[in-house]
């Protein structure tokens, strides 16, 4: 694996005394912003886009309005404790933290240390993610920690690790996409989820090489119009078949990069045998894409590859194909295609999953995952435990073993032998987790639920204790974006009321629980310790510190020492495997776990809208965004609407094997007639995740959010047994 040199950047430009250079609080693009203080104005800050390699000065609607969340009308500013009548009362920090620590001590004395669990988030800074993992392991001494990144990148991470020996999202700077002849996008609608990304696709579009695989004609898919590329709209849940067929054509027609395959990969023969059965005509019968279109797509990608004289090609994956019970296998199929074409680890070409959450990358590198320690080390590795224990100043035996992935953890809460207490940081599982009604029941079984949040989210409102925390413009820290680039988050304004950083909260709780040191509330000190803990690991930050970042360097990990420039492009010389070769893994397709049938004959897919983010806990508190997208909806084709007796704006009831939801109908020709789409940003009756399936991928633990079988009917025909809160949204 080799590095290309880091470059100077506008990360720390000269700004006036009232201006602060930082980054957007939302997605993993981490668009650069300038925040200017506005004393006496309604909002404390004015937001402007700032030139940076990822966003080039642009912001989306969420980014432009991000300062609104700082002064949300229901912003949490003081600790809250649940009262006997089910409400909340205000409390001082000492009372709230003493209550939490005493309840934890009592529960652990009665039931053992494993009775307490922690659930983190992919929006926490690297420092907070690291401190949370450390807190779980050496203060609570529980194995039960996982985070909402399990719902985001776990399948892509698992597939990348077994193929390349490393998971770093995009293994190249986003700007590299601009020089490619072709870009294949599967299951990502970045035109909505991260609009400034789209400018990096301009080169491929100009050359007619943008290929988008999505059952909907999304904003991103429409970029292929006008001979700019190809849109393939497969049957939901069959992205794997598309990939197997494309790889079949590349191999059968002699379009593969044979020299690359010989020199840089293993496992080709098994993959060749596995894709032999997926000739285009057979694939068409399963995925619905015409055989000729599959052949045309494979030839377009091959012509763009370096081995055939092209400028280069990229394969990018997103949640639409990863949030499946075969998600890891599906990403492996995408990797196999990219390797067959000789794309990975070459200048101007590559493979990469498009990370979603703001710190989805860094959040999984430093200890929030159930089986990992800082530096992307495995918790079962004795050498890894020894190294991290030395940094933490504890005996390795103190560090618990692996816990369980998020879905299993949430289901185990309050059950016999399961955790009786839960800390939640940076996540709103009541809205974001699959089979959401079951998650609510799990939380209600707990003896103690402690939620740290900015606002009274749906999860916080079930808590016994709510702790108010700072947010992006009120704190210092670092984030790691979708390219593995470490960036600085800078404080621009004080937090309101008694809101405190999680770093301070974890330190105070640690002290009350008998661990008197090791939890500073200075983010710089935490980062320096995290860098030491990561040293020698896969995600090595040892050579990075705040001074280097503040000096304007763009530093991508791995960066093992202070003289190292960072690694914008990985795998140029070799892969991070024992023999330096990428592993091709033969995979095959199976149908979704909850496939269409007579009583649920329609595919339901879920996703996002431009104005809202994740569970909507932030964006649903911004008037401009709410005015644009005020309520949940279900999108369907006119033919399906007509067959179901539904019309534009009419309420429909959706029923799956897990739950019931109600949403207004939107009629559009931009979706397959056998499929409906619901965004997942809302709670209550219109919550899409009341419907989604919590069956998980056997390797990654990723739930099958993205496709489930649903029955739909006009809301007027509701069965009288439907709960009132659903029938009257």
Q: What is the pLDDT of residues 229-278, one digit of tens each?
A: 999 999 999 999 999 999 999 999 999 999 999 999 999 999 999 999 99
CA distances from 518 to 120, 129, 388, 395, 534 (A): 20, 15, 13, 14, 16
d(CA 635, CA 419): 39
What span, in angstroms and rounded, lies between the C-alpha atoms of 233 and 243? 13
Q: Is 279 left (phi over 0), alpha (psi -120 to 50) or beta?
A: beta
- Within 8 A by CB and 6+ apart from 703, the residues are 151, 323, 407, 433, 434, 692, 693, 694, 695, 696, 697
Question: Where does 483-601 show beta strands of DSSP type E?
Answer: 485-489, 555-556, 582-583
For residue 430, which phi and psi values (nearest 5 degrees)? -60, -30
SS3 assignment, position 515: coil
Q: What is the pLDDT of residue 1?
A: 56
Q: Write down all domains in the chain, each with its CATH number in brackets.
A: 19-71 (2.20.25.90), 80-150+359-556 (3.40.50.740), 154-353 (3.40.228.10), 602-727 (2.40.40.20)
- What is the model's pLDDT at position 720? 42
| pLDDT for 5 beyond 70 | no
Cα(538)–Cα(527) distance, integer angstroms: 17
Going by pLDDT thresholds of 50, 70 and 90, the confidence category of residue 721 is very low
pLDDT tens for each residue of 32-79: 999 999 998 999 999 999 999 999 999 999 999 999 999 999 999 999
CA distance 444 to 594: 27
Residue with the two structure tokens 């964006």: 619
Q: How confident is the model over 117-140, as a mean pLDDT?
A: 97
Task: Note whether 330 and 243 are within 8 A (CB).
Answer: yes
pLDDT at 655 over 70: yes
686: region left, alpha or beta (phi > 0 left; psi from -120 to 50 alpha): alpha
Tell whether the model's pLDDT for residue 718 goes beyond 70: no
Of 137, 132, 130, 145, residue with least CA distance to 525: 130
Q: Is the pLDDT of residue 119 over 80?
A: yes
For 674-686, write each residue's pLDDT tens digit. 999 999 999 999 9
CB 144 within 8 A of CB 104: no
User: Which of 493, 526, 489, 524 is CA-nearest to residue 507?
Assistant: 526
Closest CA to 162 of 610, 551, 583, 496: 583
Is it the case that residue 419 has pLDDT exceeding 60? yes
Identify which of 123, 685, 49, 58 has the alpha carbon closest to the alpha carbon of residue 427: 123
Question: Are 498 and 93 a contacting pair, CB within 8 Å?
Answer: yes
Give dist(CA 541, CA 696) in Å, integer: 32
Is the pLDDT at 2 greater than 90? The verdict is: no
State the Cα–Cα distance between residues 64 and 33, nearest whole angstrom: 9
Q: Is the pLDDT of residue 385 over 50?
A: yes
**Alpha helix (H) residue ranges in 166-220:** 190-193, 202-206
Section 212-222 average pLDDT: 97
Give CA–CA dist 659/656, Å, rounded.
6
Q: What is the pTM of this model?
A: 0.95
Query: Per-residue pLDDT for 726 more than 70?
Result: no
Residue 629 has pLDDT above 60, yes or no: yes
Asked if residue 410 lies in contact with residue 433, where contact means CB atoms within 8 angstroms, the answer is yes
Q: List, in order, residues 6 or more apart from 140 with CB less than 8 Å away.
A: 104, 108, 113, 116, 118, 513
Tokens of 148: 């909402």
β-strands 448-453, 80-82 pairing = unpaired
pLDDT of the residue at 15: 62
* Cα distances (Å, whole numbers) of residue 423 to 100, 248, 568, 585: 10, 48, 35, 38
Specify burial of residue 84 (Cβ count, 10 A radius: 0-12, 13-18, 19+). exposed
Each residue of 294-318: pLDDT tens digit?
999 999 999 999 999 999 999 999 9
Q: How far apart are CA 61 and CA 27, in angstroms?
A: 12
Distance CA 691, CA 688 (A): 6
- 372 touches 199 (CB < 8 A): no
Confidence at 12, pLDDT banded by 50, 70, 90: low
**Assigned token pair, 407:** 């879905």
The confidence score (pLDDT) of residue 716 equals: 78
């Amino acid at each position: 694996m080799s590095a290309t040199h880091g470059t100077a950047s506008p990360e720390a430009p000269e700004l006036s005394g009232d201006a602060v250079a930082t980054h957007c609080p939302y997605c993993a693009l981490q668009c650069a912003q300038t925040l200017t203080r506005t004393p006496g104005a309604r909002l404390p800050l004015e937001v402007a886009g700032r030139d940076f390699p990822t966003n080039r000065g642009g912001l989306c609607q969420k980014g432009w309005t991000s300062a609104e969340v700082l002064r949300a009308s229901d912003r949490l500013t003081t600790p809250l404790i649940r009262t006997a009548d089910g409400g909340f009362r205000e409390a001082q920090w000492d009372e709230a933290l003493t209550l939490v620590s005493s309840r934890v001590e009592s529960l652990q004395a009665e039931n053992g240390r494993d009775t307490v669990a922690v659930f983190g988030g992919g929006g926490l800074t690297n420092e907070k993610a690291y401190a949370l993992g450390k807190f779980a392991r050496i203060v609570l001494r529980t194995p039960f920690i996982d985070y909402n990144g399990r719902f985001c990148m776990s399948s892509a991470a698992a597939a990348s690790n077994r193929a390349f020996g490393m998971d770093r999202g995009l293994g190249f700077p986003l700007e590299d996409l601009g020089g490619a002849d072709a870009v294949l996008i599967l299951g990502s609608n970045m035109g909505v989820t991260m609009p400034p990304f789209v400018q990096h696709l301009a080169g491929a579009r100009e050359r007619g090489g943008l290929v988008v695989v999505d059952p909907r004609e999304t904003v991103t898919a429409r970029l292929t119009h006008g001979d700019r590329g190809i849109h393939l709209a497969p049957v939901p849940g069959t992205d794997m078949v598309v990939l197997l067929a494309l790889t079949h054509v590349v191999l059968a027609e002699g379009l593969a990069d044979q020299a690359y395959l010989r020199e840089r990969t293993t496992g080709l023969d098994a993959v060749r045998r596995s894709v032999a059965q997926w000739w285009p005509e057979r694939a068409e019968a399963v995925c619905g894409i015409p055989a000729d279109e599959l052949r045309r797509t494979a030839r377009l990608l091959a012509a763009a590859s370096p081995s055939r004289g092209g400028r280069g090609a990229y394969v990018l994956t997103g949640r639409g194909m990863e949030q499946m019970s075969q998600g890891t296998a599906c990403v492996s199929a995408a990797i196999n295609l990219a390797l067959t074409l000789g794309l990975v680890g070459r200048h101007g070409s590559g493979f990469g999953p498009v990370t979603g959450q703001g710190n989805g990358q860094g959040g999984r590198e430093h200890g929030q995952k159930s089986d990992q320690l800082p530096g992307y080390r495995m918790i079962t590795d004795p050498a890894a435990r020894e190294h991290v224990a030395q940094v933490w100043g504890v005996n390795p035996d103190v560090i618990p073993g692996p816990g369980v992935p998020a879905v299993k953890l949430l289901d185990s809460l309050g059950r016999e032998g399961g955790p009786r207490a839960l800390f939640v940081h940076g996540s709103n599982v009541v809205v974001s987790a699959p089979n959401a009604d079951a998650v609510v029941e799990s939380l209600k079984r707990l003896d103690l639920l402690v939620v740290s949040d900015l606002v009274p989210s749906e999860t916080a409102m079930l808590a016994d204790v709510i702790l108010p925390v700072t947010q992006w413009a009120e704190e210092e820290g670092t984030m790691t974006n979708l390219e593995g680039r470490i960036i600085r988050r800078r404080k621009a304004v004080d937090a309101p009321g008694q809101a405190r950083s999680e770093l301070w909260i974890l330190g105070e709780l640690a002290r009350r629980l008998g661990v008197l040191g090791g939890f500073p509330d200075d983010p710089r000190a935490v980062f320096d310790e995290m860098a030491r803990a990561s040293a020698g690991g896969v995600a090595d930050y040892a050579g990075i510190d705040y001074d280097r970042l503040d000096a304007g360097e763009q530093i991508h990990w791995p960066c093992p020492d202070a003289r190292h420039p960072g690694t914008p492009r990985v795998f140029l010389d070799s892969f991070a495997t024992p023999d330096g070769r990428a592993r091709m893994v033969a995979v095959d397709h199976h149908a979704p776990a909850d496939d269409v049938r007579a009583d649920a004959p329609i595919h339901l897919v879920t996703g996002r809208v431009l104005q809202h983010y994740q569970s909507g806990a932030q964006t649903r508190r911004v008037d401009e965004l709410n005015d644009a997208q005020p309520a949940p909806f279900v999108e369907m084709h006119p033919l399906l609407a007509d067959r179901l007796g539904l019309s534009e704006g009419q309420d429909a009831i959706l029923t799956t094997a897990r739950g019931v939801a109600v949403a207004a109908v939107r009629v559009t020709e931009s979706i397959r007639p056998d499929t409906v789409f619901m965004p997942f940003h809302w709670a209550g009756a219109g919550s899409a995740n009341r419907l989604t399936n919590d069956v998980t991928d056997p390797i990654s633990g990723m739930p099958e959010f993205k496709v489930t079988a649903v029955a739909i009917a006009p809301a007027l025909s509701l069965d009288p047994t439907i709960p009132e809160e659903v029938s009257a949204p």
